[in-house]
Structure 1
Amino acid sequence: MADTVDSSLPASILHGCCFETDRLLVQEFKPTFARWHSAAESKEHEFDVASVVVASLLTEEVTKPLPPHWQGPYSPDRARQWMCDLIDEPMTTLLFAVSKERGTGDTERSGDEDDALKMASDSIVGLVIAFELAVEGSGFQKDIRLGYLLSERFWGQGFASELVRGFVSWCRQFNGTDTRQIASIIGGVARTNVASKRVLVKNGFQSISSGSPSTDGEDEPEEEEFHLQLIG
C-alpha cells in the first residue's frame, strides 16, 4: 500500500469527502473511525482492524453483482489487498458508512480488543466506491462513477437510498462551494437488480440505456447505466 500520493498525479476532487445522514456517518477511508481505533494500538493495526471489518461485509451474497474477480468470500487478507488496490488508485475514493447507533454500548469503553472489533464489525453499514472520469473537452470537470455495497444485515431498511442521497447531496454542496467540478454522477446496475435501480431512480437518476433490442445480433449488455446531471 502506498503511504503517500505522488504529487505529480492529478488530485482527487473527492479527497476528504465526508458527510452524515440521519442514521449514517460516512467518510473517506483512512481509517480513523474512533470505534475502530479502540481495537488498535497502532496505525498499522488499525488497518488490520479495517480489513476484518470489510471482510465481514463482503459476503458472497453482497459481492455477487460485482465483476468476477471481486466476488466473495473474503478473508481479512483478501479484504486488505482489495482496499489497497482501490486506494492506491489516485482517481478512486473508498468511503465507509457506519451506523450512528450501533456499537455505542459498554464495549466501546471496555478496552477489550475482541469486544471492540465486534463492535466495529457490527457498525459497518456499507461502502461507497467512487471513480473519477475526466469530462471530454473540459480541463477540470469530472464525472463520478458511483458504486456501493451494503451489508446484508442492513438490507431492506432504506439505508442504500439514504447513502446515495447523502453522497449526491455532498456532491451538490461541493459544486456550490468550489469551482463547479462535478458534472454528473453515473451508476451502473445489473439489469436484474431491481432494488438498486429503484434506489437510483428515487434519487433522481435517469436510465441512459436504450432498452431496445440489439439490431446487430449482439447480446444486450448485462449492466444498465443511470445518470444524474449536476451541471447542465
Structure 2
Amino acid sequence: MFNVTELSDFAWSESELTSSILTLLTPNVVKSLPPNFQNIKTTTAAKNWLDEMVSQSHLFTVCLRDTKTIIGFVFLSEWDNQNVHLGYLLGELFWQQGYASEFLSGFITDCRDNHLVKSLIGGVEAANVPSAKLLLKLGFEQSHTTENGVTFYQRQLY
C-alpha cells in the first residue's frame, strides 16, 4: 500500500515536493513539532524547510503505491553511533486510518532486517497522545521525559 523511499533515491521534482510539503504541514499536523516545522505557507518556505531537513537527516517520503501521492515523511537523524532519532509525520487527511502504524511498522522491520541501526529513539510532546500510543504499540518503551515535557521512547532492533 505504501512506498517509504529515501528522498535521494526517488525522482521527485522540486515542485512536487514543495506542493506536498505545503499540503501536509498544516497547523494540526505541526502543532506538536519543533519550531522549524511551523508556518510553512509559501513555496520558498517549503523549499527552505526541505533543504534544512535534508541537511539534518535522512529524509524519506511516504507515498501511496497506487497514486504515488506523498502522504507523509520519515526522518532519521543520528543520535549517537548506534541510536538513531526517528521522526515522522502524516498528512491530516490520512489520520485515523491505520496508515502511520502500517508504514512505520514496515519501516522499522526494514531497519531491523537490514541492520541499519541498533535502536530507534522517538520524542513526543505530552500533548501528542496518539503518537505516544503509536510508538508503544510498535514496541517502543518509554525512556525518559525532559524538563520541557518531551517524552522519549526507544526500540531496540537487534
**Common fold: TM-score over 0.5:** yes
What are the within-5 Å matches in structure 2 for residues 5-20 of structure 1?
none
Letter of the 1:27 partner, please give it.
T
Matched residue SS, 2:114: helix
Task: Tell me which amino acid in the other structure corresponds to 1:199.
Answer: L
Q: Distance in 1 between matches of 2:9 and 2:18?
A: 10
Deviations 1:83-134 (A, max 9, x none): 1112134xx1000001123x3xxxxxxxxxxxxxxxx6xx221100110222
Question: Structure 2 regions of 5+ residues with no counterpart?
Answer: none
Contact 1:164 1:200 in 2 (8 A): no
CA shift at 1:70, angstroms? 2.1
Distance in 2 between residues matched to 1:160 and 1:49, nearest whole Å: 22
Work out the number of aligned pairs and report it: 158
> Runs (4+) of structure 1 moved beyond 6 Å?
none
Alignment partner, residue 167 of structure 1: 107
Is 2:21 the partner of 1:54? yes
**Given the alignment, which residue of 118, 133, 139 partners 1:198?**
133
1:228 aligns with 2:155: yes
Q: How many angstroms apart in 1 are the aligned matches of 2:37 and 2:108?
A: 25
User: % of aligned pairs identical?
Assistant: 32
Residue of structure 1 aligned with 2:144, choices 209, 216, 219: 209
State how far apart, in whole Å, the 2-side matches of 1:67 and 1:134 are.
20
2: CA distance between counterparts of 1:209 and 1:30? 33
1:31 and 1:170 mapped to 2: Cα distance? 16
Q: Does 1:130 align with 2:70?
A: no
Q: Secondary structure at the match of 1:157?
A: coil
Specify the code of the residue in structure 2 equivalent to 1:75: T
Letter in 2 for 1:131: S
Rg larger in 1 or in 2?
1
CA distance in 1, matches of 2:117, 2:19: 33
Contact 1:64 1:72 in 2 (8 A): no
What residue is the counterpart of 2:60 in the other structure?
95
CA contact (8 A) 2:86 2:120 kept: yes
Instruction: Name structure 1 gaps, 5 residues minimum.
Output: 1-22, 37-45, 104-119, 136-141, 176-180, 211-218
The CA distance in 1 between the partners of 2:112 and 2:94, in whole Å, is 26
Cα contact 2:140–2:153 (8 A) shared by 1 = yes
Counterpart residue type for residue 209 of structure 1? H
TM-score (ref. length: structure 1):
0.63
